[in-house]
Amino acid sequence: MHSPHSPADETLLTQVATGDREAFATLYDRLSTPLYSLALKMLGSEAEAQDIVQEVFLSVWNKASTFNPARGSAFSWTVTQLRNRAIDRIRSRRRRGELLDTFGADLEPTGGESRSAADNCEISEQARQVRDAMGKLSDDQRNVLRLAYFEGLTQVEIAEKLHEPLGTIKARAHRAMARLRDILRLIHD
Amino acid sequence: MIDPRWDEQAALAPLGWTDDPAALDRASAQDPEITEVLRDYAEVAALLSGDAPQHAPPTALRRRILENLDGPLPVLTGQGASLFRFRRLLPYALAVCLMGLVLFQTVMITHLHKRLNTARAVAVASTVHRDMPSSMVLADLAPQGDHGKAKVMVAWDPQRCCGMISMDDMPPPPPGHDYQLWVLDPSNKTPVNAGVLARGMRSQHFIAGVVQPKGRPGFAISLEPAGGMPTPTGTILFAVAPSL
């Protein structure tokens, strides 16, 4: 995602923890597109996506010192924070009965300064690799992962939605994650 | 290879589907291999975000976030640093100045309030005695020793040979004693008895017909046995010398 000569995200986070605004700006430039894309995919609303991206980056600024590299990369730390916030919002919407019916199709921004992947947004190499890896999963596996990951559904909710036993859903998700891990390892190695 | 059960739990952890998160934490703490697998799956889950169509956020969002950071201020050096430090200290300096001004005003108001009370007392006395002087002289009686915040002022008309003495914050005299006022007439060798002063933290005492000094007399207050004495016997507490 960045030049081999530029500092790693984890190094930038260490600098951010000392109040380095320049490091923070660099980190923002690296991570904002994947985080915003994920938020947009999960929430389907540009305004809400911007809100939670802002929340996550302000949290990164204030809590950078709590980051533990032993538990994962800076990228996974920020993605986890964003997903948790997005899932909270999705579940809050469900409680209000406002949940959109379908999330299957890729959502396109409605305007503003966002750019679609197909048009002029540069798709990162990493994103392309993940899409390739997802393409190697079975439809069932991919479907379970997308429902869990992007819609924030619980295993029980997915089982009900797909009319499948709970154990089947868990096993399918496990196999999908394990296969993705193997594929991505192969790509990176 | 770790137990397949833990592998499944580690794979489901990023989705929030772990059966017993606490048990997984304990197992991870005891087995570095489980920790490593957990980390791998966390990275896989993070990379899954790349499956979403990529959209750059609006440039305004970057500016908004950077403007909302409330962390430590940037470190500056050289002339910019001096200016920056000055700008940072400016609000504190203004606050200190403001506090000083308020304190000064409070002291001034208290002082003026006391003088106003004396002037009011004189004005009241003037109403009672219509031929009261028009060229009043105000003087403070200097404390002879430490008498706290007690303050005694005198207003005297040298033409009419009458005046008013005002006391503030005077503690009550000890049992069996009274404060007694003396007029120090330069033409008399001994102080002239001007009477026992009323008790109380704040009081005014009218002085008239006691002496006919040629110039301005002095005044003194002493602590005397209850009822007063014909000549001063006790400690002089306050005094102002005659000024001819």
Give yes or no for B198 touching A (CB within 8 A).
no
Instruction: Return d(Cα A149, Cα A164) in angstroms, integer.
Output: 18
Residue B204 counted as domain residue: yes
Residue ranges making up the domain that contains B23: 4-48
Residue B105 counted as domain residue: no
Q: Among A93, A107, A85, A90, which residue's Cα sits nearest to residue A41?
A: A107
Which position has the token pair 């005299």? B173
Give yes or no for A45 touching B (CB within 8 A).
no
Amino acid at B211: V
Q: pLDDT of A6-59, one tens digit each? A: 568 889 999 999 989 999 999 999 999 999 999 999 999 999 999 999 999 999
Question: pLDDT exceeding 70 applies to what percent of chain B?
Answer: 81
Residue B55 counted as domain residue: no
Which position has the token pair 């007392």? B121
Q: For position B152, what pLDDT does the model report? A: 86
Q: For position B125, what pLDDT does the model report? A: 61
Instruction: State whether B124 and B232 are in the same domain.
Output: yes
- Which residue from B minimizes the CA distance to A59? B69
Number of domains in chain B: 2
Compare A96 and B77 and report the one with higher pLDDT.
A96
Task: State the DSSP string of chain B.
Answer: ---HHHHHHHHHGGGT--S-HHHHHHHHHH-HHHHHHHHHHHHHHHHGGGGSPP-PPPHHHHHHHHHT--SPPPP--HHHHHHHHHHHHHHHHHHHHHHHHHHHHHHHHHHHHHHHHHHHHHHHHHHHSTT--SS-EEEEEEESS--TT-EEEEEEETTTTEEEEEEESPPPPPTTEEEEEEEE-TT-SSPEEEEEPPPSSSEEEEEESS---SSBPEEEEEEEETT--SS--S-EEEEE--B-
Q: Among B189, B227, B239, which residue's Cα sits nearest to residue B211?
A: B189
Give yes or no for A89 touching B (CB within 8 A).
no
Q: For position A115, what pLDDT does the model report? A: 40
Q: Which residues of A touch B72 (CB under 8 A)?
A: 18-19
- A residues 106..135 contacting B (CB < 8 A): 106-109, 112-118, 121-124, 126-131, 134
pTM across the whole model? 0.54
Instruction: State whether B133 and B41 are in the same domain.
Output: no
Instruction: State whether B43 and B129 are in the same domain.
Output: no
Compare B108 and B128 and report the one with higher pLDDT.
B108
Residue B129 counted as domain residue: yes
Residue B193 counted as domain residue: yes
Q: For position B116, what pLDDT does the model report? A: 84
Give yes or no for B61 touching A (CB within 8 A).
yes
Q: Among A87, A131, A137, A134, which residue's Cα sits nearest to residue B15?
A: A87
Interval B163-192 mean pLDDT: 84
Instruction: Return d(Cα B74, Cα B72) in angstroms, integer.
Output: 7
Q: Among A170, A141, A174, which residue's Cα sits nearest to residue A157?
A: A170
Q: For position B154, what pLDDT does the model report? A: 83
Give B138's strand partners. B155
Q: Which residues of B touch A70 (CB under 8 A)?
A: 35, 39
ipTM of this predicted structure:
0.80
Between B43, B57, B71, which is nearest A72 by CB? B43
Q: For position B200, what pLDDT does the model report? A: 62
Instruction: Return d(Cα A173, Cα A147) in angstroms, integer.
Output: 10
DSSP state of A6: S
Contact across the interface for A130 and B59, Cβ inside 8 Å:
no
The model's confidence at residue B224, banded by pLDDT at 50, 70 and 90, is: very high
Give the CATH number of the domain where residue B131 resides. Answer: 2.60.40
Residue B233 counted as domain residue: yes
Compare B85 and B94 and report the one with higher pLDDT.
B94
Torsion from C-alpha of A61, A62, A66, A67, nearest 10 degrees: -20
Hey, what domains does chain A have and what are their CATH numbers? 1-98 (1.10.1740.10), 123-189 (1.10.10.10)
Instruction: State whether B40 and B132 are in the same domain.
Output: no
Residue B69 counted as domain residue: no
Residue B146 counted as domain residue: yes
Interval B217-221 mean pLDDT: 87
Contact across the interface for B64 and A54, Cβ inside 8 Å:
yes
* Cβ proximity of A61 and B71 under 8 Å: yes
Q: For position A84, what pLDDT does the model report? A: 92
Show the low-confidence residues of chain A (pLDDT under 70).
Answer: 1-7, 97-124, 188-189
Instruction: Return d(Cα A52, Cα A61) in angstroms, integer.
Output: 14
